[in-house]
Every structure is written in C-alpha cells, then in structure tokens.
Amino acid sequence: MARKKPKHPNYINRELSWLEFNQRVLDEAHDPEVPLLERLKFLAITTTNLDEFFMVRVGVLQQLVERGNTRPDPAGMTPDEQLTAVSSRTHEMTLQQYDCYLNELEPALNEAGIRRVRSNELTEQQTEVAEQFFEQLIYPVMSPMAVSGADEFHALAGGTLKACVRLDDSATGLPRPPALSQANATGDGDDTEIVGGLNESDANAADESSRPPVIRILPFGRNVPRFVTLPSEGGYSYILLEDVVAMFVHRFFPSERVVECVPFRITRNADLSVREDMASDLLAEMEQVLDQRREANCVRLEVAENVTPQTLTFLSEALNLQPRDVYACPGPIGLKAFMQLTSLSGFDELKYESWSPRPSPQVDSTRPIFDVVARKDVLLIHPFESFEPVVRLIDEAADDPDVLAIKQTLYRSSRESPIVGALARAAEKGKYVTVIVELRARFDEARNIEWAKNLEQSGVQVLYGVKGLKTHAKICIIVRREPHGIQRYVHFGTGNYNEQTARLYTDVSLLTCDEQLGEDASNFFNAVSGDSMPQAFHKIVMAPISLRDRVLELIETETARKNQGQKAAIKAKLNSLVDPRIIDALYKASQAGVDIKLNIRGICCLRPGVKGLSENISVLSIVDRFLEHSRILYCLHGGDQLVFISSADWMPRNLDRRVELLTPIEDAALKERLIEVLDCNLQDTVKSSRLLADGTYERVRPRGRRKKLRSQEELYEAAKHAERQAQQSRRTIFEPHQAPERRSS
C-alpha cells in the first residue's frame, strides 16, 4: 500500500512508527520458521498491542481533534491527519491479522490437532455438550440489556465481547426506539433469522432496513470461558463462546423472533489524567479515574463483518463513531483471547524449546548475597541470567537483623510478588521501609493501589510518586550495619521489579555497594520523598533534571572529537527514540562523520540513511521470543569507552515528565560485557529488521558467507557456557574435610 510522503523529511510520525513495530510482531506470526503456537502467540500480542494503542494514543488524538487542535507534530501532521493515517494503517493491519489467522494458522492448527468446530459441524454429542454449557454457564449468567441509544451504552464495559441481538417486533408490537439516521451505515450483509441455531433468510430485509431496530445487548462478561471444550477422539476440539450464544440465543427471547445476532467489542479511551494539583488524596483520585475509564468515550468498534447495515448504523451512532472507527472482522473478534490456546498441554512440539534463566556465575548461591556484592559489583543480563539474586537481595534484607532500612521504587510488579511480600515483612520486623509506588502506571493502576494499601497496613511508608511526574526509575537501596560502619547496597535496573516479566523481557541489573553510587541513591530517595531539590549526584543522572542534557553532552562530545580528527562512535539500545533534540544532535553527529549504530525495538522517529543528514546512522529492531526492553548507551569517548544503563527511553515523556535514572557502569569487565551485548544485538541476522529512510523496515539477512546470528539465542548460549565454566572451575578446587574439634574432658 502506498504511503503518504511526509511533510517534514527529518522525522517519522511516532504513531505510524509504532504501527510499524506492531507489523514486525505480526510478521513473526506469518513466519513459517516460528513454531505454530508461538506464531499464534505473536498474533495475540499484536491484538493486545493494538488494544492499548487505541485506548491511549488514538484516544488522545481524538480528544485533540474534538478540542479543535490543529497543531502539527514534529513530522508535520495535524491530529486529524494522524487519525486518518492511523485508521488506514490499522484497517490494513487488521485484514492482515485475519488473513494470518484464517488462511495460515487455523488450518495448520486443525492439522496439528487443535480444531475449532463451527456450529454447523458439531456432532450430536458435541451439540449436547454445547447446549449443556449454554444452560449451565451462559443462560443463568448473562442478562440481555434493552438499548435504544447512546445513554444505555455508557454502561457497557470496553474490551469484552458482547452480542448485539436484533429482534423482529412486527408481530409482537414491541416498542421501537427513536429513529436514527442511516448516514453512517457501512458494509453490507443479509438480515438473518436465527431459530434454534439455524439461519433463515429474512424476506422483509428491505422493509426492516428503513425502520429503527429493536436491539438487545448480551454482555458476555469476563468469567465465562471463550473456548468451550468439546469431546473429540484426539487432540483438542473447541467451539467459540459466541457461536454457542448464537446457537441458543432465542432462549433469551422465547416470545420474540431473533433476526440477527452478531458479536462485537468496543474500545474506550483510557488516557484519563488526574488533576494532581487539585487532588488531596491521590489514591482516592486514581480510584475515581479507574471508574471514569469504564465509561469513557468509545474509540473503536470491532464487529463481525456479516453485520447488517441497519444494525451497524445503530451501533455506530449510539457509540458516536465515524466510519473510520469501525472495524469489520472476518473472523473471531478479539484475537488476543487465543493466547489461551498457546498454553495447551500436550503440544510441546508446537512451542519454542524452553530457555530457563541460568544462574549467574558471579553469584555464589551458598553465600549471603551481601557477601557476594561486597566482594564485587554484579551485572546480570536478563532473562538469560536469573533475576533470583535481585529477589534474594530484598528477601535476605527483610530478615537480616543488621539491615536498618530498605528504600525502593515500584512501577509494575507481579500479582503474587515475593518482593512486595519481603518489603511488608521487613516493615513488620521493625525495619524502616520506604516504597515509592507509582499509582499512575497505565493498566497496572488497580494492582498498584492494592499493593499500596497492603504495604501501608504492614507499616511501610508508602509514597505515591512525585506530583506532576511518573516515577519510572528502577532502584532499591538497602542500608546495613556492618563492623566497619554503615554500608549501602544498591540495585539499579532497566526493568521492573517483576520476577515474572524478568523471564520474558531483556533487561540489565547492577548490584553494587559502590560508596558514591550508594550516596547518590540516598540523595535520590531523599529528593523524591522529601519534597526537596536533589543534592548533586556523584555519578547517576536523573530526569527530568539533567538526563537529556547529559545524553546531549555525550553525543556532542563525540561530535567534537570527530571534528578534531579523532575516532568517534555511539551505540545505543532503547525501546523508543522520539525526542527531537536528541534526534537533531544525532543528525549533527552523523554529518560530522560519527559512526552511530542504534538498536531501537519500537518507535523510532529518526530517519536513517538520508544523504547529507543521517547517512552514518543505522537503526535495527529485534523482535524475537523475548521482548527487548533494556536501555544501554555506549560512547567511544576517545577510547575510554563510557557505558551506561538506564530506565529511560529517549522520549519527551521520559525526559520531561518522568523520574528516570542513567547509571554508569565503571568496572572494566562489566563494561566489556555490556558492549558485547550491544554488538551481539547489532549483528543479528535472523530476527532483526533495518529501518529505511521512508519509515518502513526490511528484514536483515546474512550476506555472502556471513553466518546466521540470532542474538537472543547467542546470549542464552553464552549464559549457559558461563555457567558450565563456573561449574568446572568449582570442581577443580579441592576443599578438604576438616576433623571436628575435640573437647577435652
């Protein structure tokens, strides 16, 4: 599909760039070399990603349009132009999703023994099971809602499946709703009568289309299974919940005639902000925002493509949607639900081989973690190396009588978090525990509110971040009394304190008791918890105060060195690159001849390879079994090789509206290891794609005799090799058994 030429040649629109990232995820679902259930997983992820994109980014753009905002973004596009471009691209992507599912994955799954059965394919025994399921779990649970317009739709939750049922009132005299305009009707289809699960032609379709419909909505709810297991002679057979509802929907309306029953799903705007300057109780205010989100404006309607124009018009007008907001789906709505099938037992041959995190050879599991870190800084590369030492650090601190205080940030955590449990236990044992819980971590607000309340009940001093800023930094400091005095142990990370996602995301952890980093950590917590300006840091850099300035300084230093005839190079690994000032600094460095290699997983608004602007910049993106999440920065710096890890992406929101950290890695061996990680990512020829100047991507393939290199596999094999070497080293150390001391009688 031809893409519109950008108005501003220096930048790529961030929304379209994000959609290109989601396309790369979808490409994994198309890839026949990926195991079948993993392909299904990638397809489900693309749907989840699009849901969040509509809830946040499209919701914001619609608000801007409603306010009459015509201010262009850095790429030169107004909000309305962005909405039009986004709609075109997402409609295209939706068709690709269903093409992938219907024409590639579903036939292959059926052949592999995972069979979706349609209602007209059921055996007599399967029909009995479906009917029993309806009678026991659908009919007693679901309740039809009479709706006549927009007012009743405010009560419908976003993100869940529903059925729109149209009734024929010609014989029963049912009251009709006020007439609605047909102006927004799109699509075509035949009115159908559903009787006992059998579809019959409606002879009065033409007459019905000119009259306002009588509509009932059946919300499916979140607790009714989407996949109804059916008896089969082998493998796994199922029928979808919406198909069972359609088979027996007439039982909800015994005295009326059902002429149409179509599944649909709505997406609501989730970008509702808190007026922090007016909120006396942020926790209570956040709970109110979550309530408001349930009734926010609808930003998307997904509906079965066989919906009739009459019903589609009713839904569109009741939800106040334009045609560009409506998505006709030729297959099951909400493909993210198919993630459930990817965990089916008995189909291991359709999944990736398990890559369990390896224990780090730097960490002796037989010794207290404090002894390990006191001896030497520890660098962990997740998920190839286990997150267990980080959990153990906090767990041991909770029970250690010499630990005086624990201070930590929590942005996202798991449902049954051992870290949160350890923090509560530490407070109950009398330690001074301070936790900064970010209540505004989008889509984790409810969980964080629950954690905050539980921690407060345990005696933890809970802070809800900083006014006007999200606390996104990943830092924990433990203050311990030791024979030589007070010692600080600090963890800096690029990812969340979540032991589950630490098995799925690539991230970096630094465990250290470096004196200056410890003092910086104390100053950081004193600043964010004490309503005061932070004292000068020795080593770390903090957003929104100076992180952008430090990154610009590093880029400009490389530029100056190159202009002086020295070698200069920049390598960076990030999730997103959006900030115009940093992009412009990189352009200037490229024009000076600085070699710049970027590994940007998601959004990248920089245009690489443009003559006279960015020909010395290359951008790769890796999409593989683990989500690339770590942030690493490298500068040659005249041969000194400066290396940093960070919680921040190079986006205005991170640099201006979040509390973030940039932490130097100074140990020579640890620096070298991170450089190896960067280089490995940049050499990927299996799962990487190259960003082109027009904003599209092309898959990287090995050239000539260059061997295939899959960076995640390479890093996992390196972790296994290091583990084997450590085991071999321990076997060559002879430790004699000592005779027990004898007591003299």
Q: Return d(Cα 27, Cα 43) in angstroms, integer.
A: 9
Tokens at 419, concatenated? 């870290």
Q: Return d(Cα 257, Cα 168) in angstroms, integer.
A: 5
**432 Ramachandran zone, left/alpha/beta (phi>0; psi -120 to 50):** beta
Active-site annotation holds for 472? yes
CB < 8 Å & 24+ apart, contacts of 597-600: 597/569, 597/570, 597/571, 597/572, 597/682, 598/571, 598/572, 598/573, 598/574, 599/571, 599/572, 599/573, 599/574, 599/628, 599/678, 599/681, 599/682, 600/573, 600/574, 600/575, 600/576, 600/691
Cα–Cα–Cα angle for 355, 356, 361, rounded to 5 degrees: 115
Q: How many CB atoms lie within 10 A of CB 733?
A: 6
Q: State the DSSP string of 398-462.
A: HH-TTEEEEEEEES---TT-HHHHHHHHHHHTT-EEEEEE-TTSTT-HHHHHHHHHHHHHTT-EE
**370, 415, 496, 580: CA torsion to nearest 10:** -170
* Residue 427 CB burial class (10 angstroms; 0-12, 13-18, ≥19): buried
Decide the pairing of beta strands 198-201 and 192-195: antiparallel
Q: Which has the closest alpha carbon to 461: 432, 421, 428, 434?
A: 434
Contacts of 163 (CB under 8 A, 6+ apart): 217, 218, 220, 242, 245, 246, 249, 261, 262, 263, 264
Contact present, 259 and 167 (Cβ < 8 Å): yes
Q: Return d(Cα 371, Cα 392) in angstroms, integer.
A: 12
Q: Return d(Cα 646, Cα 492) in angstroms, integer.
A: 8
Write down the catalytic residue from 250, 382, 472, 629: 472
Tell the residue number behind the tokens 């290699």, with chain if given: 597
Number of H helices, E strands in the chain: 21, 29
> In DSSP terms, which residues pair with 542 in a beta bridge?
661
DSSP 8-state code for residue 251: G
Q: Give me the active site residues, please.
A: 472
